[in-house]
Structures are given as C-alpha cells and as structure tokens.
Amino acid sequence: MSVPESLVKLGFSRNILEPQGTGANGVLIVGESPGAEEDAYGTPFCPHAQAGSVLERSIRRIGMNREQFVITNTVPSRPPNNWLEGAPWAAEAIAWGRPFLEEAIATFRPRAILSLGAVATRSLTGLAGPKLGISHLAGYVVPSNYGSIPVIPCFHPSFLRRGKMSHTSILMRCLRLAVQTSYNRTAAELPSPNDGPYVLRPSPEMAEGFLDIASRAGDNWLAYDIETYYSNAEEEAEEHDAKDIRSIQFSLSPGTGIFMPWRDPYIRVAKNILALPIRKCGWNNWRFDDPALRAAGAAINGEIHDLMWAWHHTQPDLPRGLQFAAAMQGPNITQPTHVWKYPWKHLDAAHPEFYGIVDVDVLQWMLNYV
C-alpha cells in the first residue's frame, strides 16, 4: 500500500516506515508520525533524532533496549512540517494509517501498548474531550479499541524536548508500567460509578450517622473536599465565597466516602464534622476549600494538612493535579506502583457525586501508601 496521492500533494513523504523491534517484552510503542530523520533513515523514533533520543535514553535508563519493544507510529509517513495534531489533513492521514497500525497489532500481538501523545492515545482508545488529555491520563492503564489489550498513555518525547525534560521520569515510569502490565497481563477498565461503598445520596439521618462515626474516629484522617458552581478542577486556585459551594465530600478510610449537597440540613452536619478536632487533609484546601468554608461560617478544627503542597515539595517540576499525582505514587517517581488505578476527572458533569467522593477517597489511599 502506498501513500495516497491526496496526502502526497499536501506534502506527505512517500516513504512508509515499518514497525521495528522484536516485541519480546510484549509492549508496542505507538507515536504520532515520523520526523525528518525518521523519514530519512526509515526508523520510527530514530535513536539520534530529537524525540527518538529521549525515548532511547529512557528505555536504557530502565535497563532495557529498544529491540525488546515494537516501535511504530499512528501515521507511518512524515506529514508536512512534521505537523499532524490539529492539522486539516489529520483525520485523512490517521484513517489511512489505521490499517498499518492494526496490522502491527495483529502481527506482534502485544500484551500492552504505550501510546505517546494525544494522537496515538485517541486513535488507540477513542478517549477524547475534557479531562481526557495526556496530562490527565498519563500513567494510567486504560482500555483500548483492540480487544483486551490495555493502553498506557504518556507524554510524547517531542513534548519533553520542548522544555519539559523534567518529565522524563514520567516517560520512564510509563515504560516500566507498560512492561509490568504486559508481564502481569493486567486488565484495564474505567471506573463505573455505582453506590458500592460510597454514600452518593445520603438521607439526613445517614449524614448524622457519619458525623457520629467521625466523632469517634480516633487516629483516622478526615479527608474533605468541596465543589463549587464555578470550577471543580483541583488545579484551580481562585478563592470562592460561601454562596459558590455546591457540595462537600468526606472520607475516613480508603474505599469509603460520603457526598453531601450544600443545603440544609446537610450544611449543619458538615460544619459539625469540620469542627471535630481530628486530623484533616485536602488537596489545595488552604487556598481553595478552606477560605470558602470559613466564609460560610465553618470552623475547621484540628491539624490540617494540604497534600497538594506535600506533593509539590517532593516533585516540584511535575504537574500538581490530583489525578496525575495519584497515578505517580510509588517508592519513587519511576516505580509504577499505583494507589489508585483509574482516571475519574472526566466524570465531573455526568456523575458529580461519584466524582466528588473519589476526590477524597484518593487522598486516603495516598495517605495509607505513605
């Protein structure tokens, strides 16, 4: 199969790059499209090219070599000016490249796929939209469009070369996670919101019951988090006043949590919970949650710990989003040990109760890991 004339006329190279590597570790690495040096040498992620050299070093630093993987691209021909994502020809090029990608999957039968960049991730998983970009999905194991083969999204090495070399440890972690996923034959799934151990729609009596349990919690941590009508993104630092609060969530141990709408009689119960003299933790709570709660007349007693700033002090060059930090927990940043396995931030509008409780449950898992 040759490159379509319609793409050649746009400036695509006529060269088609074949997948390289043995796939001995069961991992297929999929990038976006070849660059100039890849096109010239016929090698995906050419080891001495800009993006390829970052991938090469990362592979070697985890004690492996590129021949153990299979390496290919979503589109196997170089686009004009190396431009694919967001280009007017992107859809046509990706559709043309799909049979090549499917052939690589059928030939090498990978047990895990590492997708580098947004184009590869969308093509392999179909995941797209708010809070489903690489910065939210990096380091998680998610389902693919290809049966039971899981996908591990990660930043593209070219993104690292453009001023984000501090994220190289993330690429190393994702490489190790892909290999670990392959060897363990880890299944992938997205969270399915359900009642389970979470109290999504409590009665006033159930809220009072949680207050009673919290009052006898002893050494337990109380994780808390609010949602507002303006933003539920954990990265936001803008302060809101009392009238902006939409809900509050609490958790006393991993796997548990309760959602309370910010209206009476739940407001009174929530204020009594916050007034308890037990240890508390949140994510960016000192700048976001606490000012709004105090403006609403809540007294927040006991020791208060901000886990976002604890994360920032240990990893100052990395993103501060809760979902990202949860994916990166482990003995160190390059070790793929998860305390929470699934992305959930994309559920904020469709399942706000579940989304809100996960925000506090994740904090409990992080505390228990430490």
pLDDT of residue 240: 56
192 occurs within a structural domain: no
* Span 127-154, average pLDDT: 95
Domain count of the fold of the chain:
2
Confidence of residue 25 (pLDDT cuts 50, 70, 90): very high
As a whole number of angstroms, the distance between CA 288 and CA 226 comes to 9
- pLDDT greater than 50 at residue 237: no
As a whole number of angstroms, the distance between CA 49 and CA 38 comes to 7
178 occurs within a structural domain: yes
* Span 41-55, average pLDDT: 96
191 occurs within a structural domain: no
User: Is 128 in the same domain as 232?
Assistant: no
As a whole number of angstroms, the distance between CA 83 and CA 309 comes to 37
Q: Which residue has the tokens 């088609």?
A: 16
- pLDDT greater than 50 at residue 235: no
Task: Quote the percentage of the chain above a pLDDT of 90.
Answer: 86
User: Is 180 in the same domain as 232?
Assistant: no
Structural domain ending residue among the three candidates 184, 209, 230: 184
User: Is 147 in the same domain as 260?
Assistant: no
pLDDT of residue 335: 83
- pLDDT greater than 70 at residue 370: no
As a whole number of angstroms, the distance between CA 246 and CA 243 comes to 8
pLDDT of residue 192: 79
User: Is 167 in the same domain as 248?
Assistant: no
What 3-state class would DSSP assign to 144? coil
Confidence of residue 242 (pLDDT cuts 50, 70, 90): low
User: Is 146 in the same domain as 210?
Assistant: no
User: Is 295 in the same domain as 363?
Assistant: yes
Higher-confidence residue of 78 and 370: namely 78
Structural domain ending residue among the three candidates 136, 157, 184: 184
User: Is 34 in the same domain as 142?
Assistant: yes
Q: What mean pLDDT is reported for the chain? A: 93
User: Is 237 in the same domain as 361?
Assistant: yes
Q: DSSP letters of 257-307?
A: EEEEESSTTHHHHHHHHHHS-S-EEESSIIIIIHHHHHHTT----S-EEEH
Q: Which residue has the tokens 């507002």?
A: 228
C-beta of residue 10 within 8 angstroms of C-beta of residue 87 = no
Burial letters 230-239, b for 16+ CB under 10 A, else e: eebebbeeee
pLDDT in tens, 91-119: 999 999 999 999 999 999 999 999 999 99
Q: Identify the CATH number of the domain in which residue 328 sits.
A: 3.30.420.10
pLDDT of residue 234: 44
Q: Identify the CATH number of the domain in which residue 61 sits.
A: 3.40.470.10
As a whole number of angstroms, the distance between CA 90 and CA 75 comes to 9
210 occurs within a structural domain: yes
- Nearest CA to 216 among 167, 264, 277, 265? 277
Structural domain ending residue among the three candidates 141, 158, 184: 184
What 3-state class would DSSP assign to 351? coil
pLDDT of residue 339: 80
pLDDT in tens, 170-209: 999 999 999 999 999 888 878 878 767 899 999 999 999 9
190 occurs within a structural domain: no
Dihedral sign for Cα 306, 343, 341, 245, please.
positive
- pLDDT greater than 50 at residue 233: no
288 occurs within a structural domain: yes
Q: Which residue has the tokens 């039971």?
A: 148
Domain residues for 142? Answer: 5-184
User: Is 82 in the same domain as 219?
Assistant: no
319 occurs within a structural domain: yes
User: Is 137 in the same domain as 238?
Assistant: no
pLDDT of residue 331: 77
User: Is 341 in the same domain as 220?
Assistant: yes
Strand partners of residue 72: 30
What's phi and psi for 127, nearest 5 deg? -80, 125
- pLDDT greater than 60 at residue 34: yes
Side-chain-side CA neighbours of 241 within 13 Å: the count stands at 1
72 occurs within a structural domain: yes
As a whole number of angstroms, the distance between CA 277 and CA 303 comes to 8
pLDDT in tens, 63-89: 999 999 999 999 999 999 999 999 999
As a whole number of angstroms, the distance between CA 324 and CA 55 comes to 21
User: Is 140 in the same domain as 84?
Assistant: yes
pLDDT in tens, 304-325: 999 999 999 989 999 999 999 9
Peptide bond into 191 cis (omega under 30): no
Kind of pairing between the strands at 151-154 and 112-116: parallel
Confidence of residue 357 (pLDDT cuts 50, 70, 90): very high
